[in-house]
Structure 1
């Protein structure tokens, strides 16, 4: 599968919820939020399944139908955006996350930077993450 992001991302954060830990087989998942209409699948046919997030909201998980790699997720409460799983990008060398979500589930050995925006759970307002990303990208 191949996809393109045809606009600038809105933010990049790390999610430490138990589901992201399981799905990434790591300590956290990376979410690169982009406008929904900026993400275009150019090759392959994705598949999806819907789950309840730790926040109790529905999340549509989209993955490669051939290899099973999780590619992005759509949140019913934010239909104008989509979160790309940043580890699937061709080049991740310039990625610099601005925040951490679900820190109460973070692995105890992981150091959370105080320079980032940090939330114990799901933030009520995601715009501070967007603003910090804009400041960092300028």
Structure 2
């Protein structure tokens, strides 16, 4: 049985908002160095969703493109006013968008199902007991 959920969220200043209505593909903790830099933390909690189902609105949405370890571009979208990261899209994983979970209005139902880029994880972080990948998926 497929359970659809409604996810909504926004940046710190409210200039960018989004909604998703569907079945998330995964919820993961990403330990890659780029996510560490983007969040200013040891990792980033992301929710992978079908990109066509994700609606992002806001005049202050900007995108910074980095190169993923696949060699392909990663579009990292954020609010240009307050700097909040919103969503990342990897060319190597077409059709999937990764919502930055800290921007969700309600995180009470989130339960990570994977940890990504353990090779980049800080040595002091504990594993969650979920599927782990040394690199990406």
TM-score category, normalised to shorter length: 0.7 to 0.9
1:89 aligned onto 2:104? yes
Unpaired runs of 5+ residues, structure 1, are: 124-138
Q: Secondary structure at the match of 1:6?
A: strand
- Provide, for residues 30-50 of structure 1, a one-character-per-residue CA deviation record: whole Å limited to 9, x for no partner: 111101111112444411011
1:46 to 58, 61, 66: 61
Counterparts of 1:56-135 in structure 2, within 5 Å, are 56-113=71-128, 115-123=129-137
Shift of 1:122: 1.8
Unpaired runs of 5+ residues, structure 2, are: 1-15
Aligned-partner Cα distance in 2 for 1:42–1:94: 24
Conserved 8 A contact 1:14-1:30: yes
Which runs of structure 1 show a deviation greater than 6 angstroms over 4 or more consecutive aligned residues?
none
Would you say how many aligned residue pairs link Structure 1 and Structure 2?
122
Q: Secondary structure at the match of 1:122?
A: coil
Shift of 1:65: 2.5
Q: Secondary structure at the match of 1:67?
A: coil
User: How well do the aligned residues superpose, as a CA RMSD in angstroms?
Assistant: 1.4
- Provide, for residues 95-134 of structure 1, a one-character-per-residue CA deviation record: whole Å limited to 9, x for no partner: 1101111111111111113x300011123xxxxxxxxxxx
Aligned-partner Cα distance in 2 for 1:78–1:102: 15
TM-score (norm 1): 0.82
